Structures are given as C-alpha cells and as structure tokens.
C-alpha cells in the first residue's frame, strides 16, 4: 500500500506579515521576503524553498500559499518558482484556514496524500538533519492516523514559543526521536520556561506539521467545523475558483491551526532532532544569527561606527553613522529609520500600531 | 569729535563649516544655515542679523563675510539681505584673516571707523541687553585705543570656551560691566573650569570684538605682520578686486584672531553682561536650548517615540521611530542618519573625518 501512496503535498505558508521587522518589513514586503537568516543574503522564503525542495519529485515544486496581493513580491523572493505551484488564499486568515486549504486541495487529488505544511520564515540547521526529520514526519504520516509535528530541543528558556510534552517513545530513524505528544504547553512565563527547558521532557513546537489529508480533515471536521464545513461544501463540487473560494473565505474564523486543531486532536506525534532553530520573530532573533565583529556589532549596508558596541544595523538606501552607542538595533529602509534598544524587538509592533492609529499607511 | 565719527562697520563672520552638526551640517550647508537656536525655526544667520541690525543705520545692513561658494546657501538663510552687504573672503582662512579683511575694508572708507565683528552662529539672550552691550563696546571703541571683547558670565564650568580674567574696573552703562582684560585663559580642563567659574573673576570670551579700524590694524601690524603686510600692500592701492584679493589670500596663515592678535594686544577691555550665551558648538549644545517634552525628549520632524527618554531627534526627509532608548541624539538628513550618545556631540567630527578619509565626499 505504501508503494501505491500518492506523492507528498509540501506547502510553505507564506502569507505572514512583517510587522515586527518594521521598517524593513512592510505590508507590501513581508518578513519572508527579507534576508533575516544569519548572514545569508537570500530572503527567508528562498531558503525555505531550497530546504524542502528535495522532499518533492524532481519535476514538482513545493507549494507557496499566500494571498494574491503578495504574489509579486514573494515571486521576487522565490526566483524561478513555477507559476503552477502557487496556492492563493484569498486573504491572510491565520493558519487553521491556510492549512485547511492545503488539506482540501491535496485531498481533491487523493485523500490519502501526505501533506507537509511549514512556515516560510524560520532559521533551521543543519539542513541535512532537518530534511531527514521532515521525511520521517511524512513517512510516519503516510502509514498512521496521527498528525505529526516537528519538535525542537530547546536551547534557551524561550518565552515566545509554545512547548510540547513528550510522552511514549516510538521507533525513529537514527539521529531522530519520535514520541507521542502528551500535551501542548502555551507560551510560558520565564520561570516556567526555565523549568520546561531543564526537565528534558519538553520540546519547542516548530509550527511544522505532517498528516494525511483525510486524517487532518477528519480532525478539522470534529474540532473546527466552522472552518471545515464551508470549505468541504465548496470542494465537494471540485477545486473552487479563486472567486468562489473568496466568497467563503472571509466568513472563516481567524484561528491558529495549533489552537484550533492540533491541541484538540487525539493523536499527535512529534519528530524531534537536535536542530538549531529560531522562528526569527524579531530583530533580536535575527541578530542572534549574525556574525558580530570584534566590537560586537553586526553591520549591514553603508554604516560608519565610531565607539559603537553590540549594535545591529541594517542600512538600506542611505548611510547610518553610530557614535558612542551600544546595544541598539538601527534599521533604515528608505523613508523610515528605527532606533530601538536591543531586547525590545517584540515591541516594534507598538511602533506599527501607533503608525496605524495615526493613519500613516504610507509607512506600513 | 564723537559727532564726526564715521558710522560703524558691523560684520557677521559667516564662513564657518558645519562639521560638528553632520549630517544636517554639510560643506554646502554650514551650521549658520541651520535652525539650532532653541526651538526657533529660523537659521542662526537670520537670528544673528536680526540682533545686530539696530546697530547700523536704517538704510544700511550688517556685512556678511563669507567665501563666495557659500553665498547662495547663506542668502537663503538671510532673506532680503542686500547684495551690496556681502564681503567675500576668497576662502575660509580662520578669523585673523577675516577680521583683518573687515578692518582694511572699513579703514578704506575711514581709518577711524568703529568695527564690530561677531560670529554668525551663537545663541544669546535677552536680545535687548545684548544689543546694549554691543553698543557699549562700539561706543568705547570709538573713544579709546582699546580693543573691546564681549565677556559672558559663566553659567557652567565649560571646557570648550576660552576665558578672560577681569582686571581694573572701568565705568560702564547700567546693567553692564567694563574691565581691562588681565589675561586670556586657554580652554581649561574640567577642574580648572570649575575654579574659573567659582572665583567670579573670569568670563567666557565670546569671540565678538569691537575696535577702531586703525587700532586693530596697528596691533595686527605689530603682532601678525604675515597677515597685515600683504593685505596692507593690496589695500594701499584701494579696495582690491576679488581676483587680486585671492592671489594674496591663499598665502595668509590660518590663525585665529584670538590667538594671533587679541592675546598679544596691549590693551583689551571687556564689556560683560549677565547674558544667556552658547556658542552652539555641537548637537549637545543645541539640545540644551530646546524645550523638552514630559519624557525629556526634544523631537523635530516626523518622529514616533515609544518608551524613549531624553532623546534629541531631528528628522528631515523621513520618519524616525524610537523604541526603548534614552540619551540619544538622532539626526536624519536625506541620505544620512546619525545615532549618537548625548554628550558625544563634539566627536561627530570623528565621523566626518572617517567619511573624508574614505573619500565619501557626497556625504560631506
């Protein structure tokens, strides 16, 4: 039966925004189009596609799932990506709807299609081990009724990630581990994060999932019928046109697939590996991956630094000069400059919220 | 005799550069063209001209002394200034040469002309008392063979200014003091500056001088013949053309009038008054004069501040966003952004020197 199994449906969720990477990230230039992975000059989307390409047939490509208004900018970040491998979500509607769209689309070809969905904007290394983990997830998804998630061994007491508690150990390929997920743990506070990291039983939830389309859709029908039922009605008449999809899409609730489906699903299993992983959620996270100079600075673009220490600078479209400063994030992109204290990267959202409240859409 | 005295020659020395105000100050846009005096939106040169205009006749204007390549930008900072009241120094050659040029030009009309020379780029208040002090300097210059300087009562132990030690007290108009200058004190270190401020005998040397043209030229001939003699030879044949002046000018030594003439002159007197005064020598000095908001910030232009304290921002040609930072100077002008620690304003010169060394003349 495994031999007759259909080829995998690998989908990169690329509908995210770049709010926390303002001013480099804008509505029209989301995070996945930026070069935020260490010192690699390529955008995150290009790196993600390159990592997962070996998982699909030589004549196929991973799908890019994104709203149509992002397609042009995403295409520039994914040069050579075939026009046939774009899956349009009418608008960003959080991950439950996006993953459901993938599952319905895959099931339209064959309900037993193994599906892998992953974010477009993370750092992960080494790539060989990562690919083996994803392949193990797909292989397990093919032959079981479980939903598989990718677990990462925590390397710091992160408060920005969800955690998974490992239960029963399952057989796994060499270098990988496979466990039943005992429970999902919401983003913890700092003391709890330290406990979770120390006890050796918890993993970060990487937001990467594998499942057979029929397995996910059954769970979706049970746990999130408000997303399942309208899409099921549509797909019952075949893969819908963009226009017909849009009429239904805007009524779907905006909810994450983790919260809406995974945490409620009876059988979730986790494949884990000692990967270096980061969701690159803020300038602080992006800075962690960069090589610093002798003064601790990570400087990109036209930067003049005098007596500056531990600063991260992205200068685009102009010169940035630092004098006697430390621990700053400075990002210049065309019409805007951000000067932030390192460690405050998450709060860049507050700047964006302020600009939004002031109707400064030209800056967003 | 006082009645027959010629009208005063009032000259604003406007040939300075804006090195320490980079990136707002550039070679082609010197400090005196910038709005650096408190919250007044007018450039320093305009404010300076307005202060001294009542010292000249209603149908005259103060002279602006500057190199011809700055004339266009200075004219935009001095709207309405008559074309006849520009005195071209062929190139910036420090203050001894510039003041000598004023004295020779004034003497060509009448050697007994009282001359007042002052910088184009200072903060001084209140303006009424200031004008009375300048008038007292001119009046004393008319009737004595002394060179007069303006003294300011120190309000902080500044290390960036030269000091004057007051000697014998002379009669002075109400609200002013006049003394013989006992000696000039070079820019002191911090402990010495504290002593000078405390002893009540010292004043800041404001770089504003008044003298009869013949008195200054006699002192110049004695103490700085390398400047005096070539210019005297030229002016002996009448006021020279710009071209003839230039042939001599470039051979003159670059030396300050304080060091080259005043400190060596037998009789210098000082008129002083309790003025608020600042030479606006750096962004730190400019910041002192501005009104801060409740968070201690002085924000100009399009600035978004979240959790920012005690920052000075000049945003021109774009948006600057601050997040979680304090004690910074941020200046954005077109193609360049400066992010400096407050208190390091003097060292902006290092940035400029670095750019110069790298041949980045487009940024200077």
B-chain residue closest to A363, CA distance: B319
Q: What ipTM did this prediction achieve?
A: 0.88
* β-strands B312-323, A63-66 pairing: unpaired
User: What does the pLDDT average to over B104-109?
Assistant: 97
| Band of pLDDT at residue B34, cut at 50, 70 and 90 | very high
DSSP string across A43-56: -HHHHHHHHHGGGS
The answer to whether B204 touches B270, Cβ cutoff 8 Å, is: no
Q: What percent of chain B has pLDDT over 70?
A: 99
pLDDT tens track for A117-170: 999 999 999 999 999 999 999 999 999 999 999 999 999 999 989 999 999 999
Residue B344 has pLDDT above 70, yes or no: yes
Do B363 and A330 make contact, defined as CB atoms within 8 angstroms?
A: no
Mutation target to probe the B interface, by most B beta carbons within 10 A, among A284, A305, A311, A321 is: A321
Query: From the list B23, B337, B344, which residue is nearest A332 (CB)?
Result: B337
CB A329 within 8 A of CB A338: yes
B323 with A330: Cβ contact below 8 A: no
* Mean pLDDT confidence for A15-44: 91
Is the predicted pLDDT of residue B192 greater than 90, yes or no? yes
Interface test with A, best of B323, B326, B345 (most A CBs within 10 A): B323
- Residues in A lying within 8 Å of B, measured between beta carbons: 22-23, 304, 306-307, 315, 318-325, 328, 330, 332, 334-341, 343-344, 347-348, 350-351, 354-355, 360, 363
CA atoms of B95 and B97, how far apart (whole Å): 5
pLDDT at position B35 is: 94
CA distance B14 to chain A (A): 27
Residue B3 scores a pLDDT above 60: no
Token reading at A124 = 């992960």
> What is the structure's pLDDT at A335?
87
In percent, the amount of chain B with pLDDT more than 90 equals 92
pTM of the entire predicted model: 0.88
Q: Are strands B268-273 and B63-66 parallel, antiparallel or unpaired?
A: unpaired
Q: Quick one: pLDDT at residue A18?
A: 81
CB B173 within 8 A of CB B136: yes
Q: Do B341 and A324 touch (CB under 8 A)?
A: yes
Per CB-CB distance under 8 Å, the chain B contacts of A350 are 306, 323
CB neighbours of A37 closer than 8 A, spacing ≥ 6?
Answer: A44, A47, A123, A280, A286, A289
B320 to A336: CB separation less than 8 angstroms, yes or no: yes
Question: Any alpha helices (H) in chain B, and if so which ranges?
Answer: 44-52, 71-77, 94-109, 127-143, 190-198, 213-223, 225-235, 242-249, 257-260, 283-288, 348-357
Helix, strand or coil, per DSSP, at residue A59: coil
CB contact under 8 A, A321 and B334: no
Quick count: other Cβ atoms within 10 Å of Cβ B104? 22
Task: Between B125 and B28, name the one with better pLDDT.
Answer: B125
B300 band by pLDDT with thresholds 50, 70 and 90: very high
Average pLDDT on B152-157 reads: 93
Which residues of chain A neighbour B338 with C-beta distances below 8 Å? 321, 323
Q: Are the beta carbons of B337 and A319 separated by less than 8 Å?
A: yes
In this prediction, what percent of chain A has a pLDDT beyond 90? 92
Instruction: Tokens for B214, please give them.
Output: 């013949």
pLDDT for A4 = 66
3-state secondary structure of B338: strand
Q: pLDDT band at residue B27, thresholds of 50, 70 and 90? A: confident
Beta strand segments in chain A, E: 9-13, 63-66, 86-88, 114-119, 123-125, 147-152, 163-170, 177-185, 202-212, 268-273, 276-278, 298-306, 312-323, 328-333, 336-341
- At A109 the three-state DSSP class reads helix
Yes or no: say if A313 and A330 are a contact pair by the CB < 8 Å rule: yes
- Mean of pLDDT over chain B: 94
Q: Which residues contact residue A356 at a Cβ distance below 8 angstroms, ignoring those fewer than 6 apart?
A: A364
Contact between chains at A325 and B341 (C-beta distance less than 8 A) = yes
- pLDDT score, position A1: 42
- Under an 8 A CB cutoff, do B318 and A336 touch? yes
Q: B306, B312, B313: best mutation site toward chain A, by most A Cβ within 10 Å?
A: B306
For residue B212, report the phi and psi dihedrals to the nearest 5 degrees: -80, 145
Band of pLDDT at residue B4, cut at 50, 70 and 90:
low
Distance from CA of B301 to the nearest CA of A (A): 12
Domains along chain A with CATH numbers: 9-278 (3.90.550.10), 283-363 (no CATH)
Is the pLDDT assigned to residue A342 strictly greater than 70? yes
Q: Does the beta-carbon distance from A324 to B347 stay under 8 Å?
A: yes
Residues of chain A in contact with residue B324, where contact means CB-CB under 8 angstroms, are 340-341, 343-344, 347
CB atoms within 10 A of CB A209: 25
CA A187 – CA A346 distance, rounded (Å): 14
Contacts of B330 in chain A (CB under 8 A): 337, 339
Inter-chain touch B324–A335, beta carbons under 8 Å: no
Nearest CA in chain A to B327: A325
Smallest CA–CA distance, residue B317 to chain A, in Å, is 7
Contacts of B307 in chain A (CB under 8 A): 344, 347
Encoded tokens for A203:
């993993």
Tokens of A297: 């600075």
B192: exposed, middle or buried (Cβ count in 10 Å: 0-12, 13-18, 19+):
middle
pLDDT digits (tens, 9 = 90+) for A312-334: 999 998 999 999 999 999 999 98
Whether residue B323 and residue A348 make contact (CB cut-off 8 A), yes or no, is yes
Is the CB of residue B142 less than 8 Å from the CB of residue B191?
no
Query: Are B325 and A304 an interchain contact pair (Cβ–Cβ within 8 Å)?
Result: no
Q: Mean pLDDT over residues B176-203, rounded?
A: 95
What is the mean pLDDT of the segment spanning B40-47?
Answer: 95
Minimal Cα–Cα distance from A197 to chain B, Å? 29
CA distance B344 to chain A (A): 7
Mean pLDDT of A266-295: 93
CB contact under 8 A, B334 and A322: no
Answer yes or no: are the C-beta atoms of B13 and B95 closer than 8 Å: yes
Across chain A, what does the average pLDDT equal?
Answer: 94
| pLDDT per residue as tens digits for the range B245-272 | 999 999 999 999 999 999 999 999 999 9
Least confident of A16-30, A258-272, B78-92, B301-315: A16-30
Instruction: Nearest by CB to A354, from B304, B315, B332: name it.
Output: B304
pLDDT at B2: 45
Size of interface A-B (CB pairs under 8 A): 112
**Residue numbers in B near A357 (CB within 8 A):** none
Q: Out of B319, B324, B351, whose CB is closest to A304?
A: B351
What are the structure tokens assigned to A250, written together?
């805007």
């Amino acid at each position: 039966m495994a031999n007759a199994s259909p080829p995998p449906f690998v989908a990169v969720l690329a509908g995210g925004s770049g709010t926390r990477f303002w001013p480099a990230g804008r509505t029209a230039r989301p995070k996945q189009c930026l070069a935020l992975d260490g010192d690699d000059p390529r955008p995150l989307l290009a790196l993600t596609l390159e990592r997962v390409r070996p998982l699909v047939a030589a004549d196929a490509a991973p799908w890019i799932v994104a709203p149509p208004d992002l397609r042009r900018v995403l295409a520039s970040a994914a040069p050579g990506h075939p026009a046939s491998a774009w899956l349009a979500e009418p608008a960003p509607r959080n991950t439950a709807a996006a993953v459901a769209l993938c599952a319905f689309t895959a099931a339209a070809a064959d309900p037993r299609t193994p599906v892998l969905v992953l974010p477009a904007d993370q750092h992960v290394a080494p790539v060989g081990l990562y690919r083996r983990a994803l392949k193990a997830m797909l292989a397990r998804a093919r032959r079981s009724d479980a939903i598989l998630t990718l677990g990462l061994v925590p390397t710091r007491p992160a408060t920005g990630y969800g955690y998974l508690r490992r239960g029963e150990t399952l057989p796994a390929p060499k270098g990988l581990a496979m466990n039943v997920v005992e429970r999902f743990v919401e983003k913890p506070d700092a003391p709890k994060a330290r406990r979770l990291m120390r006890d050796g039983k918890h993993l970060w939830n990487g937001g990467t999932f594998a499942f057979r389309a029929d397995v996910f859709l059954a769970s979706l029908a049970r746990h999130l019928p408000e997303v399942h039922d309208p899409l099921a009605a549509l797909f019952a008449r075949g893969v819908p046109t963009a226009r017909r999809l849009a009429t239904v899409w805007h009524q779907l609730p905006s909810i994450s697939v983790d919260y809406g489906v995974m945490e409620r699903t009876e059988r979730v299993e986790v494949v884990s590996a000692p990967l270096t992983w980061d969701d690159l959620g803020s300038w602080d996270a992006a800075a962690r991956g960069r090589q610093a100079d002798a003064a601790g600075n990570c400087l990109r673009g036209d930067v003049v630094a005098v007596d500056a220490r531990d600063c991260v600078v992205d200068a685009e479209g102009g010169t940035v000069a630092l004098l006697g400063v430390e621990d700053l994030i400075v990002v210049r992109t065309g019409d805007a400059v951000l000067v932030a204290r390192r460690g405050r990267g998450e709060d860049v959202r507050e700047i964006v919220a302020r600009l939004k409240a002031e109707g400064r859409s030209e800056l967003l």
